[in-house]
């Protein structure tokens, strides 16, 4: 009749997926540690699991001597011959030790700890082997609990952790909710969770579209680039290997069903789907959608693009807090400067350029000076302090500095020949707004917000390139 121990080993091996040999070795090691603690550390003890009887057997080995002086390592000849009549002096005699159940409470507790430790090691190895080939996949689980900002996700056989910095900002889950996430890391050894999830990496968006769009899974449509600000907005560039397949339409789906499934999984993250192009100029036209681009000037050596947009499209091209141009720049991997048509025209004007020669005057400040009908450095040198201090960005000290510096430039021959200024050739005067104070600030991935406007509320934001229709930008 099988013992309880054999039944337990068989059940654990079957239910937990452990190698049966690992469990047997764990038990043998645990009993050996307990026996040494109870009987003495100097004893030569060997533990074996008897598969036939389903029990653990403990043997001790001692040297046969004439008179034993150390009971742990030696056995007297008379006592040895009683066990084995053929034994000789100097032999190593092994004997089975009865009553291993009576090892003592402390020794038994030590054995338990060894078994638990071995089982955890075995379980970690099982989990690693199970998930090592699934790294980079999307997994589904149940929110089990929360631990100092981390989410513990039950994947069935094991648990995974979704760290705070890998969670989408301002999106919440409750205990018991079903959740999908990207399996970012599978660790063989870890004090914390072996499986680390993420919902913020770009690859999570790629995998979601691959699951929703059969053409991507089949390789007909390819995702050429992704840029995200998790929880807020994302851009994805797609291309097709077949001319009769529209890559944007395939990703959007019938009545937007496919992209909406991805948006719902990301809890409302806005997604722009744009056509990819090998031509940087055409690519930036698409990437800045929903804004329209009038002209793109490409510097391939410096990997920069100057995108000129209609005046009423400027705030749409930049996006809220520079988000649209920032995501477009990440998508291309290039630096993008965005200018309105009026500002670009001003840059070609000698009078406007003369204002930029003044140290400390950048385009945003030059635009404000233009708003006072001061169109070149000559006019600035003749201006009164009061003409400039009405501008919010200029105080009395700065106004005096600008006027004096302009006068010095004119005196040094760096002014404008006013006799040659043709009628109508003055720079276009734009009304400066409070948002323009942010002009020229560099944003992430080297995108530069060259202009801003005070509000972009109410501007239609439909994707002219076939992407998802978006809500109007808010101020």
Per-residue model confidence as pLDDT tens digits over 298-336:
999 999 999 999 989 999 999 988 999 999 999 999 999
Question: Residue 452 above 60 pLDDT?
Answer: no
Q: What is the mean pLDDT of the chain?
A: 79
Beta-strand pair 270-275/233-240: parallel
Tokens describing residue 242: 């077949």
* Residues forming CATH 2.40.50.140 domain(s) in the chain: 135-200
- Helix (H) and strand (E) counts for the chain? 17, 17
* Cβ contact 266:233 at 8 Å: no
CATH topology of domain 135-200: OB fold (Dihydrolipoamide Acetyltransferase, E2P) (2.40.50)
DSSP label at 62?
E
> In this model, does residue 458 exceed pLDDT 60?
no
Specify the pLDDT at position 393.
72
- Topology of domain 4-128, CATH: N Utilization Substance Protein A; Chain:P; domain 4 (3.30.1480)
pLDDT at 276: 95
Is 209 a residue whose pLDDT tops 50?
A: yes
- Which segments of the chain belong to CATH 3.30.300.20? 206-276
Q: Please report, rounded to a whole number, the percentage of residues in the chain having pLDDT higher than 70.
A: 81
Residue 269 above 80 pLDDT? yes
Residue 254, pLDDT score: 92
Q: Which CATH number fits domain 350-426: 3.10.20.30, 1.10.150.20, 2.60.40.420, 3.30.1340.10?
A: 1.10.150.20
CA distances from 278 to 141, 189, 239, 284, 447 (A): 40, 44, 10, 10, 20
Q: List Cα–Cα distances, 49 to 8, 27, 41, 102, 302, in angstroms.
A: 14, 8, 21, 17, 72
Whether 143 and 176 have beta carbons less than 8 Å apart is answered as yes
If residue 195 lies in a helix (H) or strand (E), which one and from where to where?
Answer: strand 195-198
> Is 475 a residue whose pLDDT tops 50?
no
Pick the CATH number of 206-276 from 2.60.120.260, 3.30.300.20, 3.40.30.10, 3.30.360.10: 3.30.300.20
Confidence band, pLDDT 50/70/90 cuts, at residue 224: very high
168 has a pLDDT exceeding 60: yes
In the chain, CATH 3.30.1480.10 sits at 4-128
Tell me where in the chain the CATH 1.10.150.20 domain(s) lie.
Answer: 350-426
Residue 17: what pLDDT?
Answer: 65
- Ranges 156-160, 343-347, 435-439: which has the least confidence: 435-439
What pLDDT score does 445 carry? Answer: 35
Question: So what's the pLDDT on residue 433?
Answer: 35
């Amino acid at each position: 009749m099988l013992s309880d121990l054999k039944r337990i080993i068989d059940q654990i091996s079957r239910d937990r997926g452990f190698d049966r040999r690992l469990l047997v070795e764990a038990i043998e090691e645990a009993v050996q540690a307990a026996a040494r603690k109870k009987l003495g550390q100097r004893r030569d003890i060997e533990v074996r699991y008897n598969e036939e009887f389903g029990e653990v057997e403990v043997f001790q080995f001692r040297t046969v001597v004439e008179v034993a002086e150390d009971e742990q390592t030696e056995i007297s000849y008379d006592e040895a011959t009683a066990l084995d009549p053929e034994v000789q002096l100097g032999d190593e005699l092994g004997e089975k030790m009865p009553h291993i159940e009576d090892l003592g409470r402390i020794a038994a507790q030590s054995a338990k700890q060894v078994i638990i430790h071995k089982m955890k090691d075995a379980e970690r190895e099982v989990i690693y082997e199970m998930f090592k080939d699934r790294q980079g996949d999307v997994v589904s689980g149940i929110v089990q609990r929360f631990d100092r900002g981390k989410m513990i996700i039950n994947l069935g056989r094991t648990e995974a952790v979704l760290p705070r910095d890998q969670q989408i900002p301002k999106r919440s889950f409750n205990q018991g909710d079903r959740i999908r996430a990207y399996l970012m890391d599978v660790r063989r050894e870890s004090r914390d969770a072996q499986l680390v999830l993420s919902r913020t990496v770009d690859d999570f968006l790629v995998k979601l579209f691959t699951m929703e769009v059969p053409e991507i899974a089949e390789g007909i449509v390819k995702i050429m680039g992704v840029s995200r600000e998790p929880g807020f907005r994302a851009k994805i560039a797609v291309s097709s290997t077949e001319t009769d397949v529209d890559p944007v339409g395939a990703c959007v789906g019938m009545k937007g069903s496919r992209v909406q499934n991805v948006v719902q999984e990301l809890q409302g993250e806005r997604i722009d789907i744009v056509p990819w192009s090998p031509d940087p100029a055409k690519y930036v036209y698409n990437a800045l959608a929903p804004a329209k681009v009038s002209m793109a000037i490409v510097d391939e050596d410096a990997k920069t693009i100057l995108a000129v947009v209609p005046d009423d499209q400027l705030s749409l091209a930049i996006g809220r807090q520079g988000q649209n141009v920032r995501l477009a720049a990440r998508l291309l991997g290039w630096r993008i400067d965005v200018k309105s048509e009026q500002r670009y025209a001003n840059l070609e004007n000698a009078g406007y350029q003369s204002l930029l020669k003044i140290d400390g005057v950048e385009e945003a400040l030059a635009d404000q000076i233009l708003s006072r009908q001061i169109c070149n450095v000559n006019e600035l040198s003749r201006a009164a302090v009061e003409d400039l201090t009405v501008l919010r960005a200029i105080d009395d000290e700065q106004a005096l500095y600008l006027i004096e510096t302009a006068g010095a430039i004119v005196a040094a021959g760096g002014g404008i020949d006013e006799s040659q200024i043709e009628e109508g050739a003055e720079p276009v005067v734009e009304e400066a707004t409070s948002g323009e104070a942010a002009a020229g600030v560099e944003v992430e991935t080297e995108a530069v917000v060259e202009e801003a406007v005070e509000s972009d509320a109410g501007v239609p934001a439909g994707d002219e390139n076939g992407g998802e229709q978006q809500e109007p930008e808010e101020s």
